[in-house]
Chain A
Amino acid sequence: MNMIVRHTPAYAEFGVQSNFSFLRGASRPEELVVTAKLYGFSAIGLADRNTVAGVVRAWQQSKVEGIAYHPGCRLVFGDGTPDILAYPRDREGWGHLCRMLTQANLRPETEKGATLLERGDLLEWGDRLSLAVLPDLLGDGETQLALLRQLKDRFDGSLWLAAAPDYQGNDRFRLEQAAALAAAAGLPLMATNDVLYHTPARRPLQDVVTAIRLNVPVAEAGFELAANAERHMKTAIEMARLFRSYPDVLEQTRRFSETLRFSLSELEYNYPDEPTQSGLGPQEELARLAWEGAAGRYPAGVPTSVRKRILEELALIERLNYARYFLTVHDIMRFAREKGILCQGRGSAANSIVCFCVGITEVGPERIDTLFERFISEERNEPPDIDVDFEHEKRDEVIAYIYDKYKEKHTALAAAVTSYRGRSALREVAKAMGLSEDVRSALSSSIWGWYSSELGERETQAGGLDQSDPLTRHVLDLANEIMGFPRHLTQHVGGFVITKDRLDEIVPIVKTAMDKRKMVEWDKDDLDAVKILKVDVLALGMLSCLKRAFTLLEDHYPARDEFGRPFSLATLPESDQRVYDMICRADTLGVFQIESRAQMSMLPRLRPRTFYDLVIEVAIVRPGPIQGNMVHPYLRRRQGKEAAEYPKPELKDILGKTMGVPLFQEQAMKIAIVAGGFKPGEADQLRRAMATFKRTGTIGNYRDRMINGMVERGYPREFAERCFKQIEGFGEYGFPESHAASFALLVYASCWFKTFYPDVFCAAILNSQPMGFYQPAQLVRDARDHGVEVRDADINASVWDCKLEKAFFDPERIVNRHASMKGVILTDHAVRLGFRQIKGLPEERMTTFIARRGDGYESVRDVWLRSGLDTNEIEKLAEADAFRSLGISRRDALWAVRALDGRKAAERLPLFDQPDIRLPDLEPATKLPMMQSGEHVIHDYRSLGLSLKAHPVSFLRDRLSRSGVTPNAQLSSVPNGRRVTVAGLVLVRQRPGNGNAIFLTLEDEKTVANVIFWKSTFARFRPIIMGARLVRVTGKLQCESDVIHIVADRIEDLTPWLSTLLEDTHPDLAKSVDGRKLLTGSTSRSHGNMPDLQRKPSEQDFRTLADETQSVMPKGRNFH
């Protein structure tokens, strides 16, 4: 009996480039690993061009697939040396590789992203590496041999020669040549396929990335493209066939891989040692700090339950050896506090009572009832995640401290991988396919926002392309394929990597766009995976605002906590019901997080009454819960319209506090564990898979597994699908409970200020601009609605920042809408606008201006002589009407400024520099036209972005009333369902999530109105909605839980009406706006048309002026 045994030869592929060989490789690292496993390779390496940016992703996937994996790098030289595959043999070799690449990356001649490697680098750092040279087999044999001998002398025993088939018709010669070279140099020859993609189907994409790299259309890239699709992974059997004349070359790949013992897991937990004052070990030091902190947190004595939890947590931290991590974070925050920089930690660590005690977080675990086990799971054994927010203007000081403390050798920024998203993918692919510029821009402008899951019909329609055209299909298919591919590495906004050992022996360091900053090649997921310490040092505008608010409060008000200390984030009176009253009325303009339209409309329905309600509020208006369709069930249950129900009692433990609806990331994970049958470690893999499913295409397995698992355990399929959808949403926009809790604290604090001290809040937030949804005009208006007096910026009263001035507070000024705030507001100061509000004034010049002010400036000329400002800057002051306190109007001030001599002070005669010598002004008096209030308002808007004098719409009120417009303030008395017409300036356009509705916020002189356009109406009125600044909207009024919306069916552009604010100076202008155009380039042949010189000027004549009037009004801001 004949038996044919088909023996699969052992083969390991080492010539592998992924798409981290930017614009060369056309497969993701994960795809390559999956294919290697499928083909039964004994091992796989990854060697991208002079980078190791993709090795962690491949490593992660190799663990899932269970295949031996070796991280490495393809060394591509700038000096003619052929490419060399370099793989570390051990930890030391990895260090060498990193040092070699770092050295080349930081070389002054190296441009960002174009590593300039030289043979000398390899000779210096090539020890403990296994090397495979890919010589030029068609080049001069002697030269190649000389090079091989040189390398062999240096690296004998760890040097291979590698050859790949290239299908140019001469492979037999090339392989013969390779074998001869190997024999002559005495080196082993190994096979490779020099892989660029995992399947031949990726050849078009590889051609496209080549074209993008060369910046030419594919059709013109010529010989730069590959002639065939052979650079894909091939099975071991196929490789054996290709190299059939050289039986040893496959075996040599195994030998090569046997020399490689390094695993990325050897880099784990390289935490820096924190020097401790007491000389204690890290664990003891942390315990000391925790107990010390606990005493401060609980002045009345540490409760037993807290004591118990501290002991438990410390024990867990000790078991996992995490103490150094906490100490590092603690030390950074200690530094910030010493400098008076407000900061707050968040992330999963917010659940930890130790973090609370040592001051990393401010939310005590007793305020949110969660367990530390979520924070650090022993089983998952991954590093704790702590992000720290700092005041946005002070973050640089913190960063400088970190550099100073850990030195450049031990710290650098994390990388962020910029990937192809919908818009960029479409634009670049369309360009590579040779579409014209205007088709390209039409295509990419069809994508609203940056996120688009799948490109298709909508985009091609916008670009005017025929779906059935093969070119269109190519563009769409390739754009979809390239989506998620990395484009380049940039620095992470604030993720610092800190290590105990030399950082450049752990991961290569590269330059960033900023001269001083360096970054590593790995992003935060990679760093998580190799368990390297990373602290996110982030900037948060609201912290700057709160810091200012606390300072203003301390300086101007006697308010103190029960121990007589000034208030701080942790000691603000908790759960003051008056604060929640305000929140329930959705009176939250400007506060943290819950200020957006969507959030505001949720507030009266959710009616938050406790801190935990705020935590939910912050978490619920997020893509995750919205995609998972969790919001409305929660609302109904919260309002008592339906009972909280649990498909199975086991879920009550998980979902009890959110009324049976999963809102937080950890709840979704726990459902996967409890109901879906996942192990805790797997559940987390599931979440990560969600974030990266585009890369691997393995999400389907998880989906089936989780939904089937839940159905098997008796859950309704519909519920299971919703849970899964939500996890999907979390993958992109994860929001765990602890994050929400830290944010909720800032929500409460900002609301607290807004409730009791609207003056403090207003000044603080104006001084922290730009931030949030609203412009200074709205913030100031809101403060005035709450009875706060706001005073003009003035040369003799203002300083750079907005400040508080003692003033009488009259509660009667509070507008009706906020009448319930009477008796609550404790304000007794007015807000004086600062020079920062005036456009175009530099801070340091104004600081000098203020310093030289003395007892005050007396005239425009005095300012010019003494303040050090140049005429341009004085003009800015005049334009802002800042000379009022001298009795000089805007126009007179401008007139005076224009008369100033533009010469420099040094050229002036000393005589004139004596301000007290008054020279008679011999100029004839010029009578300037009076500036009317409408015009003043326009100038205010232009210079300050707001006007304290009047609202632009107030000038149009009569006309609007005549046309049947209801003032926004009266909408509350209109019955539900009635058709109304409203008008106002467009403040914000928002198109959330799936884009089915567009929200418009309109502002008139009293308040705002909220308008909704459904998709179809939007399409019809798109030009007006997107372009107009003043509009009139007609639609049906909808009122639900005190939230009023107008569902619009019609919108008109009233922007030209704004021009009539100049009406007083040009009465004719107003009339002619609606009148016929007088100038239409008459071409009639009628005779005898002597000009009528008495004809009034037409609208056309003043068109630019009118346009300007319109353009100083806010353009409206677009949010997604």
Chain B
Amino acid sequence: MISHRDRNAQRIAALDERAEALRLKPGMGIADARAMHPAIDVVEADPQADLRLLESLADWCDRYTPLVALDGADGLFLDITGCTHLFGGEHAMLDEILARFFHQGFDVRAGIASTAGAAWAAARFRGRCIIAIGQEEALLVPLPLAALRLEPAIRGSLESVGLRTVGAVLAAPRAPLARRFGIALLLRIDQALGRQDEAVSPRLPIAPLSVERHLAEPVTLIDDIERLVLLLATALKTDLERRGEGARAVALLLFRVDGVVTRLVVGTSRSMREPRLILKLFQEKLTAITEDFDAGYGFDLVRLAILATAPFDMHQADLADAAEDSEEDLALFADRIRARLGEGAILKPVAVESHLPERAVAVIPYWQDAPRRISPPKKPAGPRELPSAVPYQPERPIRLFQAPEPVEVPASEIPDGPPRQFRWRRALYRVAKVEGPERLAAEWWRKEEPTRDYFRIEDTEGRRYWLYRQGFFDASKPPPRWFMHGVFA
């Protein structure tokens, strides 16, 4: 189940069939839904992701027509005027679209009509149908007002006076309708019935030139793709020459069998039309994305489109240098190393806010950000409240031992004093000066451990050590153990 925030309340935005079967409905408050079913699984809506998905579907539909427009959050308009013959007519095309979406796992409804409005209504209220010219009215009459793509407010007012179907509205005289419900209503009616033109605004500019190749056998290898690019570029060259232009921006569209569309765009600093140069640009691009390049079951449609053109300068020189040989920056270098040698190839140490010395530093991959510091408190501190001072940082050895080494302490001050002497790695050291204890308790939320008392110790020869006692003295238990955690330089 998907939730979204609507005026301070979490509401259901969308739900699957199982949730529907539980009598949950879109628009219901999450709190109410939870009161009914405490166990429901709620996911926060991500409209951005939804939009990205819809856009990728739109990309895929590019294979049918370059005129694809988004419709709201869940629909697509395809202007298929003049394209149907490529797919064997309207019926065959509709069947193919539906079948292909079905195999990609989408539950899609589609309708074909001669007006955008009628097609919209057919898709949403009929599903899988083709409305012949002149049949729009017959289609719309029994449908509810929603079929007219009306604002909810207008719809509500029409319904409140008993006009619930498109037929009822069509039967009413136009002037009173216009007076009460505004011109938008009549516009929608006229658009649906074809009395008024409606422009579908495609989401991508239509390329002035494009060529494509449908493949009976999908290709998967980069080499094959490059060969196809060269082929298509050659075909384009003729068109460019005829227009006396060269390309300034070229897009390569790879339609994968399962619906994913890869779109690569290259720009040129000077207009060009030479197929080999175009190929060279795409080779760079294709190499750069090799990592993420996933041919899956292969591409069955490859299209090369020229997005922008400019007059072709016949006298240019040094075409080869016009290629994109932009300098690689450090990050790219790191990326390459990473790609070759794995995630852990380049590391960096960062400070971590922890009182425990062994946790106070962490090593992370070079490209990651250091762990987040404390986010600002709920309410900003009072305007003149001073920021809390930098906490006192006790002195630490520069390097800690990998694991603290046990130390023998024959005698120490009770209860929390330093040792008088200690034996470490078989040698005995006499304590001359001492500072401490610094008391560090375990991070209880991670692990229960005895509290440690750290001492900075200088022996009789001036060497300095960092020792700690683990735990406190307790008459009923064996005396606490001592450890060496590091030495000072």
Q: B-contacting residues of A (Cβ < 8 Å)?
A: 78-80, 109-111, 114, 116, 136, 138, 167-170, 172-173, 203-204, 207, 213-216, 218-225, 227-230, 433, 438, 441-442, 445-446, 462, 471, 474, 879, 891, 894-895, 898-899, 923-924, 926, 928-931, 939, 1022-1024, 1026-1028, 1053, 1055, 1065-1066, 1079, 1081-1083, 1085, 1087, 1089-1091, 1093, 1095-1097, 1101-1102, 1104-1105, 1107
Contacts and interface: CB of A to CB of B under 8 A. Distances in A.
B234 to A, nearest CB: 39
Contact of A1083 (B98, B384, B440): B98
Interface string B115-151: 0000000100111111100010011001110110000
Given A227-B439, A1105-B164, A170 B394 contact: yes
Q: Is the interface of B mostly helix, strand, loop or mixed?
A: loop
A898 B124 CA distance: 30
Contacts of B392: 138, 168, 170
B392 to A, nearest CB: 6
B315 interface: no
B354 interface: yes
24 contacts: A78-B382, A168-B438, A169-B395, A169-B435, A172-B435, A203-B441, A203-B444, A221-B353, A228-B440, A228-B441, A879-B160, A894-B157, A895-B176, A898-B179, A899-B176, A923-B175, A926-B172, A1022-B36, A1024-B23, A1027-B33, A1027-B35, A1081-B109, A1091-B131, A1097-B165
B145 to A, nearest CB: 9
Given A228-B441, A445-B35, A1082 B394 contact: no
Given A116-B384, A923-B176, A926-B173, A445 B34 contact: yes
B379 interface: yes
B464 interface: no
Interface string B247-272: 00000000000000000000000000
A1027 B32 contact: yes
B181 A898 contact: yes
Contact of A1082 (B35, B128, B168, B372): B128
Contacts of B38: 442, 445-446, 462, 1022
Interface in B1-54: 22-23, 25, 30-38, 42
Contact of B384 (A78, A895, A929, A1089): A78
B65 interface: no
Interface of B: 22-23, 25, 30-38, 42, 91, 95, 98-99, 102, 107-109, 122, 125-131, 135, 138-139, 142-144, 146-147, 157, 159-165, 168, 172-173, 175-176, 179-181, 352-355, 371-375, 377-379, 381-386, 389, 391-392, 394-395, 435-441, 443-446, 451, 454-456
Closest 3 CB pairs of A and B: A222-B353, A169-B438, A1091-B129
B161 A891 contact: yes
B98 A167 contact: no
A898 B157 contact: yes
Among B38, B98, B161: residue with most chain A CB under 10 A: B161
A109 B384 contact: yes
Given A215-B377, A225-B355, A1091-B126, 16 more contacts: A109-B382, A114-B379, A116-B384, A168-B392, A169-B456, A221-B353, A222-B353, A227-B441, A442-B34, A442-B38, A926-B172, A926-B176, A1023-B23, A1027-B32, A1083-B102, A1085-B99
Choose among A114, A169, A218 the residue with the greatest number of B CB atoms under 10 Å from its CB: A169
B351 to A, nearest CB: 10
Contact of B130 (A474, A1065, A1081, A1091): A1091
B437 A167 contact: yes
A894 B161 contact: yes
A898 B451 CA distance: 77
Contact of A1022 (B37, B180, B437): B37
B383 to A, nearest CB: 6
A223 B182 CA distance: 63
A204 to B, nearest CB: 5
Contacts of A168: 392, 394, 438
A931 B143 CA distance: 19
A78 B181 contact: no
B162 A78 contact: no
Contacts of B173: 924, 926
Contacts of A214: 374, 377
Contacts of A116: 382, 384-385
Contacts of A441: 30, 34
Contacts of B99: 1083, 1085
A327 to B, nearest CB: 43
B374 A1096 contact: no
A431 to B, nearest CB: 11
Given A228-B439, A445-B38, A895 B161 contact: yes
A924 B162 CA distance: 18
A1026 B374 CA distance: 41
Contact of B437 (A110, A169, A1083, A1107): A169
A928 B158 CA distance: 11
Nearest to B446: A219
B124 to A, nearest CB: 9
B129 A1065 contact: no
Contacts of B352: 222
A898 B180 contact: yes
A1055 B25 CA distance: 13
B129 A474 contact: no
Contacts of B22: 1023
A899 B353 contact: no
A873 B135 CA distance: 41
A203 B451 CA distance: 12
Contact of A931 (B122, B162, B440): B162
A663 to B, nearest CB: 34
Given A138-B392, A474-B445, A1105 B144 contact: yes
Output the residue of B35, B143, B168 with the most chain A CB within 10 A. Answer: B35
A228 B34 contact: no
Given A445-B31, A924-B176, A929-B162, A1097 B377 contact: no
Given A116-B385, A1023-B36, A1097-B142, A223 B391 contact: yes
Contacts of B144: 1097, 1101-1102, 1105
Contacts of B437: 167, 169
Contacts of A471: 445
A684 B163 CA distance: 70
Nearest to B33: A1027
Given A170-B435, A1101-B143, A1105-B164, A224 B122 contact: no
A1093 B135 contact: yes
B374 to A, nearest CB: 5
Contacts of B389: 136
A942 to B, nearest CB: 10
A214 B38 CA distance: 30
A1079 B108 CA distance: 11
Q: Looking at A110, A203, A1101, which has the most chain B CB atoms within 10 Å of its CB?
A: A1101
A228 B451 contact: yes
Contacts of A1104: 146
Nearest to B31: A445
Contact of A169 (B98, B131, B391, B454): B454
Nearest to A1019: B38
Nearest to B137: A1093
A168 B371 CA distance: 25
Given A109-B383, A895-B180, A1093-B138, A1087 B456 contact: no
Contacts of A228: 439-441, 451
Contacts of B444: 203-204, 207, 474
A138 B381 CA distance: 24
Given A433-B445, A891-B162, A1081 B436 contact: no
A1066 B440 contact: no
A229 B441 contact: yes
B204 to A, nearest CB: 27
Nearest to B164: A1065
A1105 B164 CA distance: 9
